[in-house]
Amino acid sequence: MSSLTQHKYLPSFHHQVCTKGRLVHRIRVYCSTNTTTTSTAVKSKTNVNQLIIEPKLAKPPIKVVTDANHPRDSDTSLQSTWSHRAWVAVGCTTLLISLGESIKGSVDMNMWVEPILAGWVGYILADLGSGVYHWSIDNYGDGSTPLVGAQIEAFQGHHKWPWTITRRQFANNLHSLARMVTFVVLPIDLVFHDPIFQSFVAVCAGCIMFSQQFHAWAHGTKSRLPPLVVALQESGVLVSRSQHSAHHRPPYNNNYCIVSGVWNDVLDKSKFFEAMEMILYFKLGVRPRSWSEPASEWIEEIEIASQSQVQ
């Protein structure tokens, strides 16, 4: 460890090739940082009573990836079941009821501007909601957390194997959010009939439910995506591939929004999530996972043979 007057982060890449019957089977890529500290900083860490917010920047161990520890194309965990399809169908039905209510009310009242504006607000706030939800399950809880434990595990797996989202079948990818949308929107459909509010609900809930599809497209290869999707990504209507790829690079604590991504710059530059993490740490004593990087669950494993490259 050299002695410098301040911290200096030196990115380094460690490649390890595992051969198993094929010439080049798979490579695991680590994006890590080396740290040099002053003697003052070292001394400060010896004070156990002092709050240490700064993440440990240790070089992760290099592991050989084996066939057993990542999902394969044939893995049933990537395939849709009839239960997944049923939840997506029910979720879409609740959204269509909400949209129908909005259109019917707008026709009856001959009012269009307000419902359209409400829908636009729903689209903008859905991006914010996707970011807050994504940040929370990326950083807190685990598989045993009530209600969202499975989602937390799925997002942890996504950080390790981001490319698998492009092989995940449609209903498999959307069913958790479809279930959540059903439980929230169906009661609203039954109680509220205001076209402005229903327009907001239909668009906001629809964008949240389909955010996992937008997320999957953000991991797609440009040449393999439908031209319309590429156009929507490049015009900023949907979260772009380049913006989301930053979420999967160190320091793994930014670009959480996955609908349009319009909030990402605002939230990251204002350090909104860092402030939330500090508040939760001081109030509840819980540390977000992003303070402990680079832990193995954040590091992407890349399969060269079939990797989906973000372009």
CA dist 33 → 10, 86, 291 (Å): 5, 45, 14
Q: Binding mask 21-60 vs Zn ion (x if CB under 5 A, - otherwise)? A: ----------------------------------------
The minimum distance between CB 135 and Zn ion, in angstroms, equals 8
The minimum distance between CB 154 and Zn ion, in angstroms, equals 10
Q: Does 277 bind Zn ion (CB under 5 A)?
A: no
Q: In the chain, helix, strand, coil percent, each to 5?
A: 60, 5, 35
Class of residue 15 by CB neighbours under 10 A (exposed 0-12, middle 13-18, buried 19+)? exposed
- Residue 59's Cβ-side half-sphere holds a number of Cα atoms within 13 Å equal to 12
Q: Which is nearer to Zn ion, 138 or 277 (CB)?
A: 138
| Interaction residues for Zn ion, span 130-189 (CB under 5 A) | 138
**Which residue number is nearest to Zn ion in terms of Cβ?**
138
- Give the 3-state secondary structure of 15-45: EEEECCCCCCCEEEEEEEEECCCCHHHHHHH
The minimum distance between CB 162 and Zn ion, in angstroms, equals 5
Q: Which is nearer to Zn ion, 90 or 276 (CB)?
A: 276
The minimum distance between CB 122 and Zn ion, in angstroms, equals 23
- Residue 57's Cβ-side half-sphere holds a number of Cα atoms within 13 Å equal to 19
Both structure tokens of 282: 């001081």
| CA quadruple 275, 281, 282, 283: dihedral, nearest 10 | 100
The minimum distance between CB 230 and Zn ion, in angstroms, equals 17
| Interaction residues for Zn ion, span 120-139 (CB under 5 A) | 138
The number of residues that bind Zn ion (CB under 5 A) is: 1
Q: Which is nearer to Zn ion, 91 or 220 (CB)?
A: 220
Q: In what order do the strands lie in the sheet with 301-302?
A: 10-18, 26-34, 301-302
Whole-number Å distance between alpha carbons of 250 and 299: 9
The minimum distance between CB 138 and Zn ion, in angstroms, equals 4
Q: Which is nearer to Zn ion, 101 or 138 (CB)?
A: 138
Q: Which residue ranges make up the site for Zn ion (CB under 5 A)?
A: 138
